[in-house]
Structures are given as C-alpha cells and as structure tokens.
Amino acid sequence: MKLWGGRFEAETDQLVEEYTSSIGFDQRLYKYDIQGSIAHVKMLAECGILTYEERDQIIAGLEEILEEIEAGDFEFEIGLEDIHMNIEQRLIDKIGSVGGKLHTARSRNDQVALDMRLYLRDQIEAIQALIEKLQQVLLELAEENIDIIMPGYTHLQRAQPVRVAHHLLAYYYKLKRDYDRLEDVYKRTNVLPLGAGALAGTTFDIDRQFVADELGFDGVSQNSLDTVSDRDFVIEFLAASSTLMMHLSRFSEELVLWTSQEFDFVDIDDAFCTGSSIMPQKKNPDVPELIRGKTGRIYGHLMQLLTVMKGLPLAYNKDMQEDKEGLFDTVDTLKGALELFARMLAKTSFNQIKLEATAEDGFTNATEVADYLVEQGLPFREAHEVVGKTVLYCINEDKKLSELELEEWQNFSDRFSDDIYQKIDIETAVDARDSVGGPAKEEIKRAITAEKKECQ
Ligand code: ARG
C-alpha cells in the first residue's frame, strides 16, 4: 500500500516506481528529515493539534528510526519513493495509526525544502571550516618562505619579482572571499520553509515561528508559493562552490606547472604523488591534476540546476527532485578537494635556488631601471624607451642587466651612475614595493599578522 494509494485503482508500473524514486540518493537526508519532523510534532502539540501523548509517541518512534538507520538496520524501499515516505511508513508500522498524524499540516513539498535547507546549513559550516584550515596552511607556509623571491608573471612571461609568500597570500585572499560568499548563502538558506504546505499554506492554526526557533532558523519564509518553488539557495551554493573550485583549480594548475622539470619551482611530497606503470622515472602531480579536473563537474551541476529550474511554472514540480544529486556531489567533491589540498600544501617545499635564479633572469628588474631614470628626472615614457633599448642590447649580448658595465649603461643614458646596481638588486626591487598590498617583506609581514589576528 502506498501512502497516497487511496485514489488509485491500479498498481504503479515497476519501471515507473524505479524511475520516480529518489530513495537511492535522498536517504542522505534522513537525519534532517527526522529532526524536522520532531520539531513539527512538537509544534503541533503546542498548538493543540496533537495531544502531548501523541507527540511523545511519535518522537519516540522517530528516535528509534534514527537509531535503526544509523545502525544500518533500516531497509529503504524503492516502492516508498523517497526518504520522507520511507520514514513515515516505518513510523506507522512501528507505532500504529497515530504515526499517521505526523503529516498533519505538512506536505512533502515544504518538508523536502526543509530537509535541503537543514542539510545545506550543516554542509556550509563544514566547508567553511575546511576553507579556514587551508587558509591557516597558507599563512604558515607564507611565513616559513617569506625570504624566498620568485618571478611574478603576466601572460605567463616573467614580469616583476615578488615573494613566494606574496603569491601564497594571493590565494589566501581569494579563499577569504569564498568563505564570505558561503556566509552569504547561509543567510538566505537559514529561513524556515515548513508551513508553506503543498503550495498554499495550511488551514490548521500552526506556529511557524515555534518551528523556526526549535530548528535555529533566522526567520520564516513569507510566501508559500515562493517557498516550495524556490531552489535559489542551492543554485547560489553551487555558484559559490564553482568559484571556490575555480580558485583551487588555478592553484592546482600552477602546482602542476611548477613541479615540471621545466619550472622546477616546487616539490610536492611523495605521499601526494603517484608513479607511472611504465616509466620508472615518473612522479606525477595527480592530486592537483584531479582537483583541476573535478572543477568541471561542479560547474556542470550549477548549469544543470539552472537549466532544470528555468522553465518550471510555480510551484513544486517533480523536476525539482533533480536538485539533489548535483548538490551532494558538489559537497563531496569540494570537501575532498579542500581537505587534500591543505594536506598536500603543508608538505610542499619551494626550491629557493631555482626560484631566485629565475627571478633574476628575464629582466624582471627592468621596471626598476625605468623607475630609476624617472627619479633622475626623465619622463616615464622616455625612460621606458631607453630601458627597452637596453634590454634589447642585453638580449643580443646575452647579458643580464646586472652584468652591464657602467659605460654600457651610459651608452643608453648619461643619467646612469653607480647606484643603478643597488637599485636593480632583486631583493631591493621587491622590498621597495611596499605600498599597501605590495610584495615587500614588511608589507607581507603586516598582512600575515593582521590575518592571523582575524583567524583567532
Ligand atoms: N522526493 C521529492 C523531491 O525530492 C519530495 C517531494 C515530492 N513531492 C511531490 N509532490 N511529489 O522533490
């Protein structure tokens, strides 16, 4: 017998049952479904819709069901379609017809919206905690490597020298915004949908605020049609997750590049790499590669749900059952990536000799030379031209700027004198960039101290 069987004369086709059932994946919501139901019956009793005795019987039954599920003793049935009806049917089997009173003044439409919000709330908090862990690793790594200078790039061409710590902090701040975006999603997720009923509220004199307080929601939703047709909070979460994953993917891409023999900037610990089945010399950066690769599925889930929702008339439509698998996969993928990334990064070392040799090569101090001429009174555009010619000369002569004799400098401008050598020293060049947010050691130290304080 189906919970909704009264109106039907024929049995559901077996294939239809399998096709429409969501129990295979929505069983993940069991804890929230039970938590929501308990709050609901408490309210029903407070409002005089159920007796306190009925309430206690139902709560005791639900608590036993929770234990059964956690012990692995619960048999989920496809014929009961979803987690909501699997639990409700089990309750009726256990405590008899009083179990049938649980669904008073409620629909699966507001129930599923509630479960999803309760689930997502928890997951947002768990993901935020993982972001914080990764940020912590970044701060520590920045501090440990503050002395190492590396080339900064634009167009993947060596541009100006920075510090490794500066590069690491760049990701720290991206993650900080990701954290804030999730905080914002949380605010809109943390609104109680229960009480919207199937679409048009309920005739019972319920107390929605009571349920909101019971479950820790900031407020109650204000339009029943909106409430049961809304999956914005999931879409927003998927969008924030996509952005977060995009950041991890860019960082991963850099690690893949940097571990190549061509760059040789970093070494990822053996524990986080894998070998080749045929080439004995290989040590492959599989972890960052996979994180980069898994970014695609999260973008996919965002597009999938946007597409599911775009043509739906109000209010609930069965299409909306398709909101779950993508969300669950996003949560799993994100958590896996964040956790692994933090652990891998903590065990990643920087090749100071190679990084600094590269930073000194490729004329990354050419801007310093132009700035030098500007300090001697030359307009910047003219200085740019002079230094361009000097660099061209160096390329033809196969020399670094620091290897030029003073007479060679003076062939390009008589404004050059001996102090040019100090000006173009890489460390001097980096530490002179001490404007707010710059790569100078003092500025980085200030940033690390400020962020550490905020994290406490
Ligand atoms: N399993 C359904 C879902 O996830 C629950 C809501 C079903 N509501 C309904 N009217 N069929 O969307």
Residues 6+ apart with CB under 8 A from 270: 283
Round to whole Å and give the CA distance between 322 and 43.
30
Query: Is there an atom of ligand 1 within 6 Å of 321 CB?
Result: yes
For residue 321, the CA-to-ligand 1 centroid distance in Å is 6
Q: What is the mean pLDDT of residues 9-18?
A: 92
Ligand 1 atom 1: residue of nearest CA: 82
pLDDT digits (tens, 9 = 90+) for 381-439: 999 999 999 999 999 999 999 999 999 999 999 999 999 999 999 999 999 999 999 99
- Predicted pLDDT at 143: 97
> One-letter amino acid identity for 320?
M
Quote the CA–CA distance of 17 and 345 in Å, as a whole number.
Answer: 47
Nearest to 82 by CA among 26, 31, 11: 26
**Which atom belonging to ligand 1 lies closest to the Cα atom of 198?**
10
C-alpha 23 – ligand 1 centre gap (Å)? 11
pLDDT at 277: 84
Query: What is the rounded distance in angstroms from the CA atom of residue 261 to the CA atom of residue 268?
Result: 13
Which residue has the least CA distance to atom 3 on ligand 1?
Answer: 321
Mean pLDDT computed over every residue of the chain: 96
The single-letter code of the amino acid at 442 is E
DSSP structure class, residue 218 = S
pLDDT confidence bin for 103, thresholds 50/70/90: very high
Q: Does ligand 1 come within 6 angstroms of the Cβ of 112? A: yes
DSSP secondary-structure letter at 50? Answer: S
User: Is 361-455 in CATH node 1.10.40.30?
Assistant: yes
Residue pair 61/37 in contact (Cβ under 8 Å)? The answer is no
Q: Is the Cβ–Cβ distance between 423 and 372 less than 8 Å?
A: yes
Is residue 155 part of the annotated active site? The answer reads yes
Phi-psi label, residue 377: left if phi above 0, alpha if psi -120 to 50, beta otherwise:
left
Quick one: pLDDT band at residue 144, thresholds 50, 70, 90?
A: very high
Tokens of 408: 């060679």
pTM of the predicted model, to two decimals? Answer: 0.94
Q: How confident is the model at residue 1 (pLDDT cuts 50, 70, 90)?
A: confident
- Ligand 1 binding pocket includes 119 (Cβ within 6 Å): no
Percent of the chain with pLDDT over 90: 92
Ligand 1 neighbourhood includes 142 CB (under 6 angstroms): no
pLDDT-derived band at 279, boundaries 50, 70, 90: confident
CB-based burial label for 87 (10 Å; 0-12, 13-18, 19+)? buried
The CATH number that domain 109-354 falls under is 1.20.200.10
Q: What is the pLDDT of residue 346?
A: 96
Tell me the CA–centroid distance for residue 108 and ligand 1, in Å.
6
CATH of domain 5-104: 1.10.275.10
Answer yes or no: is the ipTM higher than 0.90. Answer: yes
Q: Catalytic residue among 276, 349, 402, 417, which?
A: 276
- Of the two residues 272 and 202, the one the predictor is more confident about is 202
Strand partners of residue 149: 163
Alpha carbon of 307 to ligand 1 centroid (Å):
18
Q: Where are the domains of the chain?
A: 5-104, 109-354, 361-455
Pocket test for ligand 1, best of 4, 309, 318, 323 (most atoms within 8 A of CB): 318
How far apart, in whole angstroms, are the C-alpha atoms of residue 334 and residue 126?
Answer: 10
Q: Which pLDDT value is given to residue 19?
A: 96
